[in-house]
Each structure stands twice: as structure tokens, then as C-alpha cells.
Structure 1
Amino acid sequence: MTTPPSPHPSSRLIRGTALPFAVAACVLLSGCSGTGGSGTDTAGAADTGRLKLALVTHASKGDAFWLLVKKGAEAAAAKDGVDLTYSSDPDATGQAELVRDSVKDGVDGIALTLAKPDAMKGPIKEAKAADIPVVGLNSGIASWQSEGVLEFFGQDESVAGRAVGEKLDAFKAKHALCVIHERGNVALEARCAGVKKSFTGETDMLYVDGTDMDAVSAGVTDRLKQDPSIDEVVMMGADFALAAVKSVKAAGSRAKVATFDLNQDLVKAVQGGDVQFAVDQQPYLQGYLAVDSLWLYKTNGNISGGGVAPVLTGPAFVTRTNVGAVAKFAANGTR
């Protein structure tokens, strides 16, 4: 989320690996050319029966976290041999329209995030009316069932937030600054609320514009200068945590930095001691499971969690003592 949202939401088709083999088999059997006595070429006219799935998120363009989600979704699409269209828009209204576009396109299933659940109510109803199954991922663990979503894959952000608060107590922190980079995002709000609930020290909230990393850095720097008693800065994403490290230095503060989520650069920051710890919700796994679950539902009627419980992908703490086990996967771009 280091760049402002693109005026045109990103969208692309991700194909699985089954089609090339199907074409090769077709050629070997010489039964798909359609060139018989009539001389009419009907190649490509046959229905391959491949599923068309859509993944629609609230990601901003270039956000490293969502690249991991997409990469996991791509891996599942390749394994299952499905056509996957990915699109995103950080604006709730824009995301809702992307979901409606997927319904109009007649996809066989939709995976979406519920960062702002109210905006998704209408599109989800339209999908259900069109007999299109919808699964949720990443955001919306408190609302997926009430919205009629079939399954959910992600982290219980309230639980994760409380775990962070307890971790801060273990580090003997006294005054935490919890920084939210997207006002109204239910997942981010739940994280900070969880921190405040379990942390026995003082917790302050700071809202910043996550689409402008310079503004994020400046906002954190200013607050640290204003209140030298802050000894812990809790960020909501890897890139924001790296910006906060610079803010701490710029402010001349002794505050430590902790964060939710991680990427390759954040892993290095944990290894080097610049960031105390990260909470990994495994975004690659979220994308993978969301796509794979739709394939399983359409091909075998399976419902992960039985439709009554979410499938949790986190939280898992990554600290300096265990970061080595994660580093090799981060280097591959999958953690």
C-alpha cells in the first residue's frame, strides 16, 4: 500500500495448467479439429467445462500483502485447472461494482474480502440469486455468516489483537501507539481494539492515510515527538512497519516497533532487530484456500468449516528466535 489507488481497478485472467494438456491430447487424438467432409472448422468451439472463478479484494495497487494473496490464489487455480480473474479496489463502492461485474460475467464462484461488510450485502445477494457461491477471506470474520457467505478463510483479528497486547505486556511495554491506515476497515479496527483490551498499559490510536506512505511516516514521527512516553508502535502491515522504523529514528524515540503481517523485507527487519515481532496471518494460504474451496464445492460439494466455523490461518508470531524458519519461504515470495 505504498502507492495511491489506481483510477482503474486491476484485473487479469489467471489460467490453470490443465488447458495445454487438453489441447495436446486433442491434437494427438485428431478428434477436435472439426474438419470433416463439410470443410467447416469448429476448432475451439467446444466447451472445455473449465470453471471460471473471481477473486475480488479491497487491495490498493502494489500492496505487497495482496501480492501474496494473489500468488496463493494463482497456485490453487493452476492446481485445479480453473480460470481465475483477480480484481481489486480499495474503495468499498468500487469493490462492490467489481463483484457485480463478476456476477454479470456468469462466473462459477466468487471469493471476496469483507473489509466493509455493508457495501458487500447487495452484491452478495445478487450472486446468490444467480446461484453463484461466495466465499470470504481475510476481512469480515464477524460478518461472513450474516452476509450469507458460504465459507471464510482468515484470522480472527480480535483474538490476534489481544495476543499482541499480551505480547506487549511480556515485553514490559507501558505505552502503545496503535496505527490504523484505513479508517473504517473492520479488520484493522478489531486489531487495535483487541490490543487495547488485553494490554495493561496505555493504548493510543492514530489514524493515517495508508495510500500515502510519506504521510504515514510523518504522522507517526509527529506523534512520537509529541509524546516521548510512547515505547511501542504497533502497525497494521509490513510496509507500514518499515516506515515506522524510520519514524522512530527521525523522532529520536526509543520506541520499539511491532506489526501485523510480514513480507520478505519485514523478515529481514525482524532478523536485524529493527522490528520486535510480526503477526503472520498467512495471506498466501488465504488466497489458496479461498480458490481451492470454490473448486471443491463446485466439483464435490465440500464446505470447509461446515459453513458454521471459519478456517483460521493465523495468528502466528514471528520473532527473532523463530524467524529463520520463515525466512526461506519469504525469500520465495510466499510468506
Structure 2
Amino acid sequence: MTFKRLAALAGAGVLALGMAACSSTGGAPEGSEGGSGGGTVDTPRKTVAMITHEVPGDSFWDLVRKGAEAAAQKDNIELRYSNDPEAPNQANLVQSAIDSGVDGIAVTLAKPDAMRAAVERANAAGIPVVAFNAGMDSWEAMGVKEYFGQDGFIAGQGVGERLQSEGSAKALCVIHEQGHVDLEARCAGVRDTFPAAEILNVNGKDMPSVEATITAKLQQDPSIDYIVALGAPFALTAVQSAQNAGSTAKIGTFDTNAALVDAIEGGDVQWAVDQQPYLQGYLAVDSLWLYLTNGNVMGGGAPVLTGPAFIDASNIDAVAEYARGGTR
């Protein structure tokens, strides 16, 4: 199995890009080393709102935000980042951005039906909207100009094929936010190519509950030999759950962070599916600058894929430095 083959079937391409910088309004962070490089553009100052479904404490969004801030620094953009895990509140944040007169909006569409009206109001106000990370199947119908992310279903299919190749008999796919369209697409993809996968819903806002729920499931069903987490913090929690339950189940996951790199190097986690969150944040902001200043639209009406790709012991050295630097 290769993700390239699966993605080709969907007729999509993959972009790769590496940058580094961080600040809450698009400038360089205090005490940061290096930077995004290349200076800044001389186009007029623009304001972009980025609104996500981030759950506080999920390190994935630190990477998204760093990418967005690097692009904002380069593009002379004031970046206004806000987040709420509840879709109605996220829609209210979009409305607040509209009311404040921002020049562009970048938004995640984890629960697209709840976001539809807010996106329509932004379009009616003449504010361009791009989407990233979640909403692969909804963005175009909602009038969103561009989409950046991975195809969750294709990524899940690749995981299912890997489970087969590793000889797994039964896997557990752990969804940490019920109703999140991309997370559900990932597990659906896993089950498409590996039917012996069971879905377990947990409360991702309560990590002790996540640990207890996975532990109880492993104790209840010793035949589970693989746990597929959908985020790095949940994979690390699954490692603890397996230990608690006395289970020998292996752990794979979607997404990375510095601690997960250590876990792959140490053998506690077998692999991670990388969708390049830093790149998603970077492209979302940079694409709005390109549209606002030059009328450019990326993708030709198709999503711009930032993944997926496997990271495991065979190639972890290629990304470890960047992960520990907070950009992978």
C-alpha cells in the first residue's frame, strides 16, 4: 500500500513546504530562534481571522498556529486566531470576524452543517473564506474558495492496509470527538480496508476519561492487538492504557508532536500518519494573501492535499528535528 496510489485515485496532489516562526498576531515570537526567513512583503496590511475547533491542550493546533503565524509575518498580515470546540460557538466567532471587518477568514469545518450559515454570511459580505483541516466533502458546496488538508477517508484506507500488512487481527479506532466529520472519515477508511476494526468514542476534552475508557475496552476484549488513535496526545494516552490493562496491543496514530517522536523512536508507538498541520496553517493564510493581493486561487477547484504520509522508525530522523522545534 502507498498513500500516493490511494490519493491518485482521488485525483489530488500533495504539496510540501517547510517554514518556521510564531506569534499571536503574525510577528516574530519573543525569544524565538531562526524565523521564517525571506523578510516580509510590501503589500498593504491585511487582517485575517483564523477560527478553529481546537480543544485546549491539543498540541496539534500549536503546529497549525505556528504555520499561520509564519505566513502572516511574511505577508504583512494581522492574524486574529480564535477557537472553540463547540460548533455553534465557532460559528459565532466567524460572525464576530465578519462584524469586525476582516479582509479574509480561514476556518475549519469539523461540523460543516453548523458552520454553513456563518460562511454564507461571510460570502455575502464579500469576505473570502478558505477552509483547512476538516470539511473535505463540504467546503466547495459551501462556497469556500480553497481547501487545505488531507483526505481523511484515504488516510484511513492506508492505515487499514497497513494493519493488514502487519498481521493485525483486530484493531480499535478511537474517535475523540463524536460528530467530527474528518475523524469519522478516518475510522470509516480504516474499516473500509480492514473490516476487523471497531470504533470507540471517547471524550477528548477529558484525558483521564480517555485513558480509563481505552483501558476498560482492552480489559474487556483481549483480542484487540492494535489501537489506532486520531491524534498524538491520544496515542500517548493509549500507551498508558495498554500498560494499565496489561495489553500487548500496538499503537499507531494520526498526527505528530515532539513527545510522539520520542515514542516512535522508543518503540512505544509504531507509526504516525502525518498531515502536516504547520503547512495547513501556513497555506490557509498565504492563500488568502494571494487572493486578496493578486486574485490567485490554488487547487483549480480541487482540494490541496497536505498529506497523508507515514512516519515510522524508518524515516523518523527526517522529521525529528522539526518536531522538536515545534513545527512538525
Kept after mapping to 1: 8 A contact 2:150/2:275? yes
C-alpha distance in 1, partners of 2:92/2:264?
39
C-alpha distance in 2, partners of 1:181/1:273?
23
Kept after mapping to 2: 8 A contact 1:259/1:277? yes
C-alpha distance in 2, partners of 1:197/1:49?
48
Within the alignment, does 1:117 sit opposite 2:112 as a pair?
yes
Give the counterpart of 2:98 among 100, 103, 110. Answer: 103
Kept after mapping to 1: 8 A contact 2:108/2:132? yes
Give the secondary-structure state (helix, strand or coil) at the position aligned to 1:147: coil
Give the secondary-structure state (helix, strand or coil) at the position aligned to 1:314: coil
Q: How does 1:236-315 map to 2 (within 5 A)?
A: 236-306=230-300, 308-315=301-308
Per-residue displacement from partner, 1:41-81 (whole Å, max 9, x unpaired)? xxxxxxx9410100000001222000100000000000001
C-alpha distance in 2, partners of 1:239/1:186?
19
**Residue aligning to 1:126:** 121
Q: How does 1:39-50 map to 2 (within 5 A)?
A: 49-50=44-45
Shift of 1:13: 5.3
TM-score, length-normalised on structure 1? 0.86
TM-score, length-normalised on structure 2? 0.87
Shift of 1:16: 4.1
**Residue aligning to 1:41:** none
- Aligned residues: CA RMSD: 1.2
Shift of 1:116: 0.2
Within the alignment, does 1:142 sit opposite 2:142 as a pair?
no
C-alpha distance in 2, partners of 1:214/1:223?
14
Within the alignment, does 1:178 sit opposite 2:189 as a pair?
no
Give the counterpart of 1:157 among 145, 148, 152. Answer: 152
Kept after mapping to 2: 8 A contact 1:13/1:83? no
C-alpha distance in 1, partners of 2:326/2:62?
9
Moved over 2 A (4+): none
C-alpha distance in 1, partners of 2:24/2:61?
16
In structure 2, what residue type is equivalent to 1:232?
Answer: Y
Give the secondary-structure state (helix, strand or coil) at the position aligned to 1:158: helix
C-alpha distance in 2, partners of 1:105/1:62?
28
Per-residue displacement from partner, 1:115-150 (whole Å, max 9, x unpaired)? 000011111111011100000000000110011100
Gaps of 5+ in 1: 1-11, 18-47
Give the counterpart of 1:68 among 40, 63, 69. Answer: 63
C-alpha distance in 2, partners of 1:151/1:321?
34
In structure 1, what residue type is equivalent to 2:159?
Answer: V
Give the counterpart of 1:322 among 307, 315, 323. Answer: 315
Within the alignment, does 1:14 sit opposite 2:25 as a pair?
yes
C-alpha distance in 2, partners of 1:49/1:208?
46
C-alpha distance in 2, partners of 1:274/1:91?
32
Q: Percent identity?
A: 59
**Residue aligning to 1:218:** 212
Distance 1:68 1:185, change over 3 A: same
C-alpha distance in 2, partners of 1:325/1:58?
29
Distance 1:177 1:15, change over 3 A: closer
Kept after mapping to 1: 8 A contact 2:50/2:106? yes
Kept after mapping to 1: 8 A contact 2:26/2:79? yes
In the comparison of the two structures, how many residue pairs are matched?
A: 292
Give the secondary-structure state (helix, strand or coil) at the position aligned to 1:84: strand
Structure number, greater radius of gyration: 1
Gaps of 5+ in 2: 1-22, 29-42
